[in-house]
Every structure is written in C-alpha cells, then in structure tokens.
Chain A
C-alpha cells in the first residue's frame, strides 16, 4: 500500500477513489435536495448559490441527483466486475489446472465469445434479458467472463510449472491443496489488478447502456441515464450533461489509475 501511495499515479487514483467511495456511502444523506423534487421556476439553470451545480430540464437539483446516483452507479460497476471476475477466474483456473482437452474445449468456446465486440455482445444479452439494472449488470458480467478467464488461465499456467509446484506434486500433495495453497496465492496478483481496472470499464458500459435506455429506467438517478435524459437540452444548459459525465469520468479514472498503480506494486521488476 505504501508503494502505491509513493507513485503519482497511485496517489491520484487513491484520492479519487476515496472521494468516490465517500460520495457513494454518504452522498444520499448529504444531498441538499430531494433528487426527484421538481422546481419549475428554476429549470435548466446554471450553477448558483441555491443550486450549486445547476438544475436539469425539470428543475431538479443536479448536485443532489449526482450524489444520489453514486451508489447505484458504483454498485453497478463493482457488482458487474465481481460477478464477471468471479465466474471468469473460476473457469480460467479450471482450464489452467486441468489442461489438455478440457482446457482446449473451454478456451475455444471463450475465443468464440471474445470474437464479438464487447459492447455489441452486451447489447445482444440485454436484448435477450430485457432492460433494467440487474439485467444490464448480468450482461456486463457475461461480457467480462471470457477475458478474465484468459487472464486467470495464463496466470495459473505460469505458476503451475514453477519448481515449488512441481515439488508439491512430487511430494504427493492433493490436487486441491496444490491449487489452493501453491498455485492460487501466487496467481492472484494479475487477477486482482485486472479486476480493478475493469471496474472502470463496467461503469462506462453501464453508463452507455443507461444512455441507450437499456440499463436503469427513469426516474433513476443513474449517471448514464442522467446524461441520456438531458441530452436534448445540452445546448441550453451544458451543465446537465457535464455533471454526470464528469462524475463518470472521475470514477472511471480513479479505478483505472489505482489499478495501474496496483499492477506496478505487484510487479517485482518495476519496484526497487
């Protein structure tokens, strides 16, 4: 952790993430207005003392809406990633440990899934499952699975032929002990790093789905949906698009920078 804070990337990433998590946890309580309260007189207003970041087309306070949208947006990113990484890693570890025919079959199927562009694949799944936050989350998780499985598999493969694993095999250790104690702890680093970076992708895909109307449904304060809803009024009040857009950007950047720093900290070649 100290190593992460020492690099500029890591420090900025950590600070951004700290802000994001603070807003996620306390945002709804701190919000000065009800995020759904209409104020017809102050529609599409710029920042003022009354409304710090301005208002949207119904006169709803953008600051409050942004704070209220944080939990659902971040939870979406984390949830989709956890699900995708979890399932993907399990598949990858199975493929890596089993090897041979099992490995070939699993990897060929995943290759087929990888051949489709990520967003297109997500859209396809959402069309099957129907719109909504949970469905969108599932869709993102499914899209992440093949990539994560590949990373987990390569990580396991590189550890599996190390001499300490061979030593455990020669000792006659059980397969589960070898996987659980010798292989996994040493293969986990790249998986964790990749997962952190993927949270930012998940948030962005989630926002995209929200924007396309396939994710969260109105009157949700999900950031992507906020951008979509106020798109028509972009020229009258740029703030109503910029505020949720910037919030997405900051969150994604926080996870991305933190993930980069985490990778550097895990990589013995980069640290002194």
Chain B
C-alpha cells in the first residue's frame, strides 16, 4: 500500500484537471425508444492521479470510457454535460482532431491484449507506428525509441520482442507491449479497461506492479476501469462507483472503503470474499473418504497409427497426470490453479466426460474406467458448469430442466414431479412460477441457481462445481456461494469447488489442493494456508491476491497486505 500516490491537496489542485467530465448524460436510440446509458456523470482526474471506476457488468463503465474517447455507436446521443480534456471540449471536436488526439493525448489499454494487437504485424512495427504517427519520428528513430519503451516495461530482450508477431508472445508480454504503446507518446490521460482480467493471477500481478511504476515515473493521469474491488486498493487513490449509468459514490479511496455511504457500495464491499469470514460448515469428523482419485491421468490427442508412422516423436498431450486426491463425506474440497492447469479436466474425468487412466473410488466401489460408471454413480456425482448461459438448454423450460433428473433417476412419482420442482426452486430462492419460464428470461445469477438446483435435484453425494462463480458479478457471486453452502448443509453432500479465486475458496473450503500445469503440487488444510511449508507456487498465488479490507471499521486488514 506504500506505493499509492497521495494527491498533494494544496499543490496540484490549482491547475486544471486532466479529465473533467461534468454532468454528462448519454442515451442510445433503440427500436423500443431511447435508453439512458449514462446519467449525470461527473468525474475529475488530476495529473498524477489514478482514478478507479468500479462497477458491475452493464453498469456503463465501458460506455463512459468510449464516450470520453468519442468512439461512439451511431445511435448514441449526448444529451447533457461536457467532457473536457485539459480544459478542451471533447464533444465538439471534429473527426480529424480526434484522430490526431487519440493515442497522443488519450491512450487506451484494453482487457484482452491478444485482440488489441494486429496479428499480422510485428510487435515492433506496431509500437513504432504510434511514434511515427504522433511524434513525427522517422521509422529508424521510432524503432530505437520503441526498444527503449519496451525496456522500461521490463521485457527481458526488447530487441528480440520487437521482431516477434503477437502469437509468438505470451499474454503478459503482449499486455506489456500494449502498455508500452499507451505510454509511448507521453499522453495526458490513459484509460485502462480491465487490463488484467484476461490474464492469469501471477501475470496480472506483474502487470499491476508495472502500471504503478510507470505511473510514478511519468506522472500520467489514469482512469482505471475494473469490476474487481479487491484490486482497486492497490492502484488507485480515488474511486467512483458506477451503478446503472450513474455514479453513486465517489471520493478518496480510503474513505470510501472504510466508510461507504451509498447502500450499493456497501453491498459491493460486503460481497467481497474475505478469508476470515468462514462460510464453510464444520469439517467432517470421519476420515474415510467418499471420493478418491488414485493416480488419475487424462490425455488428449492420442496420435493415430498413421501419425505414429510418420512422426516417431508424436506423443499424447496430458491434460492432467498422476492426480491423487480424496474428498470426505460432507467436505468441501477446493481446487485452485491457473487456466490450463488441469482443474476442469479432472472434473470432467470424474463425471465421465473425459476418458481417464488410473482409478476412481467412490463410496466403497472402484471404477477403473469411465465405462464402469453406472446410473447410481452418475446420480450421486453431479456437476455444475461455469457459464450459466450455456449450461441450460435454451429450448426447455426451467420446469422441464429441473424435472429431468427426477424422471431420469425415478426419484419421485410422476404425480409429484411438479411439486418437487417447486420445492427445488424454493430451495435455491427462486419464485415457483419460474418453472414456466425459459432460460433466456433469467439473469446470469438466476440461471446459475437453476443449474445448482438441477444438480441437487438428483440427491447427490458429491457435487462438482467447475468455476461456478467465475462468470458472475461480485454481488451475485457471494449469494451463490452462500446458497451452495446452505444446500450442502441441508443435503449433506460433499463438494469439489474449482476456482481461481483464492479469497473465495479460503472462505468456503475445508481443504485446498493446488494444480499447476496438469499436476497436483500442493494439498493443505485451509487453516495452514499461511504456513511456511507451502509449495512456492501456492505462496506465489496467495501473495498475488490482496485480501480486501474489512468493511466495518473494527478489524484491521490482515497479514497479506504487503
């Protein structure tokens, strides 16, 4: 927290703010009439300040960013207010003025570095182009300057990186290049639109460090758009919370976080997972495992005989290998790891969606391959997927979806199905008349509740949750996590919870296993998360995620705020 810039009140505020949005409103003309996208938004950013704009999906945070740079859809209409960049009105500017200004005075860094770079151009040329265009350099000068810019972003061999194409660089390296491009022309303002969301935790952490360092070196004003409240504390000095197109709370970061005034801000902060608020049920007392994986491996792309003849080195790709883990009845086991670490591969193997090698034992029975999974196993082991939009058949009603496991496993008599569906809906806190609706009429969080209800409808002994909160907004995440624990309590089912959110899993799990590149590298009791005998990778993951402040003023933030 020491590296946060404090705005020096007396000194800096005499000059004009770099960005001054005052009472700005915007609407979209649609077939159904005008829809207000931004309503009376005011925002000031001073030189050297990082202002965080926090909001959930659909809150209008990206719309505001586009409005500031004046990239707008044809049906967008400014209705009120002004946007000033160092005192100059942006709204009245001509297309030519704007083109000269973008990249030079306002730069943007987007979420996904792989789609913001041109895949058919060398990284060096893309970087040099900005300098040639906006700083009038020759190509030779621009390349030299570009190398220097890459060097400042901490890329090890800038000269080599200049020659590469985007697909030859990793996600983190690409985002560094994009950031180097943004800083290349010494802009007055840089807009960051969730620049770390598409990256894995450790890389995201390095990018944030880089951002903080570059900002201190250059003194640029930055608007940092994010949905991640936990991250805001590390980078910003002031914050605005946006909700349904209007700013509900703004101010000094420490003040807003310590004593939020608006109920929405309180709700957002309260929803942040904090490891010290344990949600988990008491740990089971028995040691006898319900589910056991013994040396399980999953391989992809086993080469055919022809491939083997042509290429003697052809070998299968292991999605996960030598995985041994066990889950006790009623326990919640967390699996963490970055994308591609084999977490979901194991989940699919355990539910018969991937063929596997090794052995799975469940409830006293042994299954050497997925063909041995019988109806009873399939009923007792259920899975919930990540994307609520994709996990429900769009052509079935909610009632039809929920009644399927009941009919398939013959759990209730035909006449009782409708009543049981109503019970299931109530169990996941949805109104009973949702049974007649179709999935597209529900919000993401509601759909995920239905998917959870479908899993629990089978009266399972083990529920595998594959990143079920990853696609949801923070406030919905917390509710879904609570619901899951509640259902676990009622049914006594064990749960494997796969996630990359370490704070959340420390709230929920009894034990955690860590996956890295298809191997299980660490397994520990959740209470031992901080102990020194953790695997270095586990420690790196834990250190990368800041534990959020507590909302109530009493407790001081915990140890890992470094």
Chain A contact residues, CB within 8 Å of chain B? 162-164, 166-167, 169-173, 181-182, 185-186, 272
Contacts and interface: CB of A to CB of B under 8 A. Distances in A.
B392 A172 contact: no
A163 B385 contact: yes
Contacts of B379: 171-172
Given A163-B385, A272-B31, A172 B378 contact: yes
Interface of B: 30-32, 348, 351-353, 373, 375, 378-379, 382-383, 385-387, 390-396, 404-405, 408, 451, 454, 458
Main secondary structure of the interface of A (DSSP, over half): helix
Contact of A186 (B31, B353, B394, B404): B394
A163 B379 CA distance: 17
B378 A185 contact: no
A272 B379 CA distance: 39
Given A182-B393, A186-B393, A272-B30, A167 B375 contact: no
A171 B405 contact: yes
B394 A167 contact: no
A164 B353 contact: no
A170 B382 contact: yes
A178 to B, nearest CB: 10
B373 A162 contact: no
25 contacts: A163-B390, A164-B390, A164-B391, A164-B392, A166-B348, A166-B353, A167-B383, A167-B385, A167-B451, A167-B454, A170-B351, A170-B352, A170-B353, A170-B382, A170-B383, A171-B378, A171-B379, A171-B408, A172-B379, A172-B408, A173-B408, A181-B393, A181-B396, A186-B393, A272-B30
A163 B348 CA distance: 11
B37 to A, nearest CB: 15
Given A186-B395, A272-B30, A169 B390 contact: no
A268 to B, nearest CB: 9
A169 B348 CA distance: 11
Nearest to B439: A164
Given A172-B373, A173-B408, A167 B30 contact: no
A4 to B, nearest CB: 15
A182 B408 CA distance: 14
Contacts of A162: 390
A35 to B, nearest CB: 46
Contact of B395 (A167, A185, A272): A185
Contact of B391 (A167, A181, A185): A167
Contacts of A164: 390-393
Centre residue among A166, A173, A185 by max chain B CB count within 10 A: A166
A221 B405 CA distance: 58
